[in-house]
Structure 1
Amino acid sequence: MAEAARYLLYFQYCGTKYSGVMKTPSHQPIPGVQNYLEGAVQKLRPINEVNISISSRTDSGVHALCNSAHLDIQRKEGKPPFSEQLLVDALNFHLKPEPISVLKAFRVADNFHARFRALSRTYVYRLAIGCFHRSQLPVFERNLCWPVSNGPLNTDAMNEAAQALLGAHDFSTFRSLNSETPFKSPLKTLLQADLTPGVSISLQQNFHSHLEFWELTFRSRSFLYKQVRRMTGALVAVGQGKLTPRHIADLLEMRDSRAYPQNIIAPPGGLFLKNVEYDEKDLEVEESKIQ
């Protein structure tokens, strides 16, 4: 019997129309991105039942510039494993017309795990200043950023507040409660938290030159459920003068999800998973295994 080959896939998607990245049951009306990825793999006619292991969960409405996953593909006797580029091209062909694209594939070791081998994950949250409602945004920006204010934000205060989040903390205040929460440690180490000017992806700049875009970037090995959206909402509240940088440090010290201020969590549409980082050695496989 032919040997199964394990691959790491990097893929991106616009998450507006999906229930999230994770697979949903067939009876659920809105599928996840994983449903379409596994459907595309099945069209390659593997002889094994393929289950894709996603590295990083994203919720409904959240996007990914680059997420990752691993999978095993076993072909019929006599057929060699797919080359990396052929696998990318074939999956993208079968993913049409969904807003999902496989960016790269790597043949990896049989014990590689996309989730547990990840060194860090980077998220970017896009903010728009100059309007209060998504209907005032360029059509190409809707569901891809959060219109937070007609006037300027206090970006210096936001960056000061972001510094309080850096390092190892108990992030209990910044996680939303769900069924998995009691089993996950709230201790996380935030490696990056900063605010920088952003750019619009709209082609209509002459008509929307009053808009200003900013990006909040967060990097950690892993995050708690809705942690990034809660941190973003709190930092925007600082920029609007509703909270002070000291409040952010105080919220961390409270270590209580119920202490998080009501109605300031950032909506999902502005959030992007930007990158999942691995040790380069994990992306190397013995030449003898590639036929």
Structure 2
Amino acid sequence: MTLFHPLDDRTPLAGRLAMAVEYDGSGYCGWQRLKHAASVQGALETALARVASASVTVHASGRTDSGVHATRQVIHFDVPAPRSEKAWVFGVNANLPRDIAVRWVTQVPDDFHARFKALARRYRYVLLNQPSRPVLERANVTWCRDPLDADAMHRAAQALVGEHDFSSFRAAGCQSKTPWRHLHFIEVHRHGPLVVIDVQGNAFLHHMIRNIAGALVTVGRGEAGDDYLAELMALRDRTRADVTAPACGLHFVDSLYDDAWGLPAEPLGPNLLAFLGEWTGERPLPDCPWVAFRRGRPVAAEGEAT
């Protein structure tokens, strides 16, 4: 796979387009457009409107909170005026602030939906574990000056894998109708001074990953044992759980879709983890009812094979 390909400046793209967007969330209230504060969605729709010479409404694969970053936020929109691939990428980027950029654009069928066709979402929470405070990385990592045991954090995190009630890890203002989510995997690894929490699931509750990260840091410091996350989850009570980790260390790195949609593959972010060498879509998704439903396959009754 290559990161470089010539952008077509001749063929107009019409109909429905999918686009990947990268952003530093430090200066934004989050993804969703709000009247009282700057949002990533608002900045993107303004830039798209200038290229299209008409208003554009975008739909995203998922929301991110205030201060959270993204390297592969997949969105879709219906084209009000045909423009070439080069115009959509270069033109939109020319009208975006420096902390937001379009990575690619591609034409998709009219029944594609960035949110409702997503099979999974993946995040990476990055901790810089060293005695001195970060300088070059200060906007996109969370600094922890106490030594962390990444192996203990990984062991404790395994209690979260599977389908569970994550009430203990949802924010008080979470608007989801259900606290149940399916975590496909959660891994904690050390890479020199970096400790990375890598988590994928069907979807996530408000502040869910940051609340999990806060609890895992407690384990990493040696203040709680391997059963700590399981104990918190069993409480189903956010008020009795751990602290919320800062937003600056959280990165939305992937939205996964069925291969039939033909979305481009690219290295998972953030770029400071490029040495890991993993590309989107490499890991198999679990054979579970949610994935089957999103792929349009019949879901077997409980107890039956799918």
Tell me the TM-score normalized by structure 2: 0.78
Structure 1: tracts of 5 or more residues without a match: 76-80, 200-211, 285-291
Q: Which amino acid aligns with 1:120?
A: A
Structure 1 residues 179 and 128: CA distance shift in structure 2, 3 A: closer
Q: Which amino acid aligns with 2:185?
A: Q
- Bigger drift between 155-164 and 266-275 goes to 155-164
Q: CA deviation at 1:4?
A: 5.8
Mapping for residues 138-287 of structure 1, pairs under 5 Å: 138=135, 140-150=136-146, 152-178=147-173, 180-181=175-176, 184-198=177-191, 212-261=193-242, 264-283=243-262
Q: Secondary structure at the match of 1:245?
A: coil
Q: Secondary structure at the match of 1:177?
A: coil
Q: Tell me what 1:19 maps to.
A: 29
| In structure 2, distance between residues paired with 1:4 and 1:128 | 44
Q: Secondary structure at the match of 2:78?
A: strand
Q: Tell me what 2:100 maps to.
A: 100
For the pair 1:137 / 2:116, whether they are aligned, the reply is no
Conserved? CA contact 2:14–2:107, under 8 Å: no
Conserved? CA contact 1:126–1:198, under 8 Å: no
| In structure 1, distance between residues paired with 2:43 and 2:262 | 25
Q: Secondary structure at the match of 2:106?
A: strand
Conserved? CA contact 1:123–1:274, under 8 Å: yes
Q: Which amino acid aligns with 1:43?
A: R
Over 6 Å off, 4+ runs: none
Q: CA deviation at 1:82?
A: 2.5
Conserved? CA contact 2:154–2:189, under 8 Å: no
Conserved? CA contact 1:131–1:137, under 8 Å: no
Structure 2: tracts of 5 or more residues without a match: 1-12, 264-306
Question: Aligned pair count?
Answer: 252
Q: CA deviation at 1:179?
A: 5.5
Q: CA deviation at 1:118?
A: 0.6
Q: Secondary structure at the match of 1:43?
A: helix
Summarize deviations over 1:225-249 as a string: whole Å, max 9, x none: 1100011111110011222221211
Q: CA deviation at 1:220?
A: 0.5
Select which of 16, 30, 34 maps to 2:41: 34
Conserved? CA contact 1:120–1:276, under 8 Å: yes
| In structure 2, distance between residues paired with 1:63 and 1:52 | 18
The share of aligned pairs that are identical, in percent, is 35
| In structure 1, distance between residues paired with 2:130 and 2:74 | 34
| In structure 2, distance between residues paired with 1:46 and 1:283 | 28
| In structure 1, distance between residues paired with 2:253 and 2:232 | 26
Q: Secondary structure at the match of 2:51?
A: coil
Conserved? CA contact 1:107–1:283, under 8 Å: no
Q: Which amino acid aligns with 1:178?
A: G
| In structure 2, distance between residues paired with 1:278 and 1:83 | 24
Structure 1 residues 158 and 260: CA distance shift in structure 2, 3 A: same
Q: CA deviation at 1:169?
A: 0.8
Q: Tell me what 1:127 maps to.
A: 127
Q: Which amino acid aligns with 2:190?
A: P
Mapping for residues 55-94 of structure 1, pairs under 5 Å: 55-75=61-81, 81-94=82-95
Q: Which amino acid aligns with 1:164?
A: A
Conserved? CA contact 2:168–2:237, under 8 Å: yes
The structure that has the greater radius of gyration is 1
